[in-house]
Amino acid sequence: MKISDVFKNYKLMLWLFLIVVSILLIAPNMNPVGVEIVGKDKNSTVPLIKGDVIYKIDGKDATIDLTQKNYYTLVKLDTNKGIKYVDVNGTLGISVRKVKSSRLNFGLDIEGGTRALIKPNESSNATIEQIIGILQTRINLYGLREATFRPVYYGKQGFIEISIAGGSKQELTDLLGRQGKFEATIPIKVSDGKTVTLDKPYQIALQSGVLRINNITVRDNEQFTLGTIPFKAIIDNSTDTANLTATVFTSNDIILVYFDPQRSRIEPVQNGYKWFFQVQITKEGAEKFAQITNNLDRVFDPNVGESYLTSKLYLYLDNELVDSLNIVSDLKGQAIQEPSITGFATTMEAAVNEQRRLQSILRSGSLPTSVEIVQLDEISPKLGEGFLQNVLIAIFVAIVAVSVVVSVRYKKIKIILPMLVIALSEVLIILGLSTLGWTIDLVSIAALIAIIGTGIDAQIILIDQALRGEEKYMTMREKIQRAFFIIVGAGGTVIGAMLPLMSVYLLRGFAITTIIGVLIGIFVTRPAFGEIVKKLV
């Protein structure tokens, strides 16, 4: 066969084309160095983001162990973004994984990590979407390790599969366990003789550290309720003043967080950017806000040129302060159900981040229903390392074993060699396509080896049909056609048998790998082999 024949033959060209595409898709990196950041703690001072690569730490080649050590000085990092110096006191606060040697996605059972299937007690489509949204937000908010979520349906019952590559059970518990309790509070500063007006007037008496509200004694740090509003008192003995911190609304009061351009914007102002968005809160929440702000005074801020109330609105998430916001003085005493939340940042990027963060916090909140972990897999990453090597050896030995069998039968290198090349190319193309959408897990590897078997089988059928000499009247074309009848028929039954497995989520990888393998066989590699056979025989 001449080389020019190959270029004229579209079946061979398609095959060669897919091989090249697959190699590009897999993008093998022969010499992977460094570690890639997959998650970052909230307090981490490392100026890198997820996906960045650290090559060296203090001149030493970066390893996972080195990133988890404690440092108490300036640490020098060689990264893909240049050399960075980080002032650390403790760990770097990042979680990393080794830089991958290719773009192949391996399943958790090979790469190691934690995978869980959780069952929400109420599992409508909307609830599942909502839970995934909340969990995703939590990852961004708390800097947890990156996880992937996938809704899984069995009949009407929906589940969510959570995979944390390289993660541990602890990280999963962190992700699910965060309560996401949100509170917005406004403190009212009071002193002796003041009146706080809520649903009715409350007389404050504060002398020598004893706080009395309407003649009832309130101790320092005590929680109490005035009208419908929960309060907490903090008494300052030295100035004889007290802060009565009111909880004006909680996660339960937030109905909606707006993301549309009318109600969620960033505008350039002098010296920076002003961000703004609206939320919808319940009537009760709005009423509490009105009652509390009625007791605050207005002050003019000459820097911004606007007047604000004397107290800020403080936002807490799981009892941790996440933000404090000025309240525009126009809002005093207003029971507004769609209040705006605004802030200011010097750069556009910071403004976007702040806005997004707050929107996420307000929207995230607690999960809409309780969840139950129904399946949990924890796989040590070290287990996977040696494993992949074994698998590669197994594929290699499988091909050798197959070669021995076909050598015994056909004895001719010009038949055996194309068979093996085609079989190898099939594995390569399946792996290449896998980078587009599915992960190679343990069962997929089994499917890959099984496909080597069925692939070789199909080639044996082709060769045997082509080699048959008895029927003088049968053209090569007809012989190959008959071979294809058998190959397509056998492939069809395999696909038929595999389709139902697509719905068993642990076996999806197996089913997809087999089906894709069969399809590539029928449409690409077998026609190419057919062309080769025509030339050979």
Segment interacting with other proteins (CB under 8 A) among 191-199, 270-278, 319-327, 400-408? 400-408
Question: Cβ of residue 473: shortest distance to other proteins, in angstroms?
Answer: 9
Q: What are the backbone angles phi and psi of residue 306, rounded to the nearest 5°?
A: -135, 160
Query: Of 52, 109, 287, 426, which lies in the binding site for other proteins, with binding defined by CB under 8 A?
Result: 109
Write out the two tokens for 238: 């030295």
Q: Which of 20, 256, 299, 397: binder of other proteins (CB under 8 A)? A: 397
Confirm or reject binding of residue 486 to other proteins (CB under 8 A).
yes
Pick out residues in 140-199 that bind other proteins (CB under 8 A): 154, 157, 159
Helix (H, G, I), strand (E, B) or coil at 229: strand
Burial bucket for residue 59 (CB in 10 Å: 0-12, 13-18, 19+): exposed
> Smallest distance from the beta carbon of 223 to other proteins, in angstroms?
38
Residues near 216 by Cβ (< 8 Å), separated by ≥ 6?
A: none
| DSSP-assigned letter for residue 345 | E
Q: Is 421 in the site for other proteins (CB under 8 A)?
A: no
By CB under 8 A, which span of 58-66, 188-196, 307-315, 487-495 interacts with other proteins?
487-495
Secondary element (H or E) of residue 163: strand 157-165
122 binding other proteins? (CB under 8 A): no
* Letter string b/e over residues 153-184, b meaning 16 or more CB atoms within 10 A of that residue's CB: eeeeebbbbbbbbbbbeebbebbbebebebbb
Question: Is residue 468 a contact residue for other proteins (CB under 8 A)?
Answer: yes
Binding segment for other proteins (CB under 8 A), chosen from 25-33, 216-224, 283-291, 398-406, is 398-406
Looking at 184, 510, 525, 533, which residue binds other proteins (CB under 8 A)? 510
399 lies in the binding site for other proteins (CB under 8 A): yes
Could you tell me which stretch among 12-20, 318-326, 330-338, 480-488 binds other proteins (CB under 8 A)? 480-488
CB of 158 vs other proteins, minimal distance in Å: 11
In this structure, what DSSP letter does residue 100 have? P
447: contact with other proteins by CB under 8 A: yes
Cβ neighbours for 268, distance < 8 A, ≥ 6 positions apart: 274
Contacts with other proteins: how many residues (CB under 8 A)? 74
How many angstroms separate the CA atoms of 123 and 50, rounded? 31
Q: Given the complex with other proteins, which of 242 and 515 has the nearer CB atom?
A: 515
DSSP letter (8 states) at residue 253: G
> Is the CB of 237 or the CB of 390 nearer to other proteins?
390
Stretch that binds other proteins, among 64-72, 204-212, 349-357, 391-399 (CB under 8 A): 391-399
417 is an interface residue for other proteins by CB under 8 A? no
Distance CA 68, CA 230 (A): 43
Of the candidate spans 25-33, 140-148, 342-350, 486-494, the one that interacts with other proteins by CB under 8 A turns out to be 486-494
Q: Find the angle CA(98)-CA(424)-CA(508) to the nearest 5 degrees.
A: 65
Binding status of residue 320 toward other proteins by CB under 8 A: no
The separation between the first and the last C-alpha atoms of the chain, rounded to the nearest angstrom, is: 11
373 lies in the site for other proteins, by CB under 8 A: yes
User: Judging by beta carbons within 10 Å of its beta carbon (0-12, 13-18, 19+), is residue 211 exposed, middle or buried?
Assistant: buried
Neighbouring C-alpha atoms within 13 Å toward the C-beta of 235: 20
Whole-number minimum distance, CB 453 to other proteins, in Å?
4
| Nearer residue to other proteins within complex by CB, 46 or 406 | 406
Query: Which residue, 30 or 413, is less far from other proteins as judged by CB?
Result: 413
Asked if 248 interacts with other proteins (CB under 8 A), we say no
Q: H-helix or E-strand containing 191?
A: strand 182-191
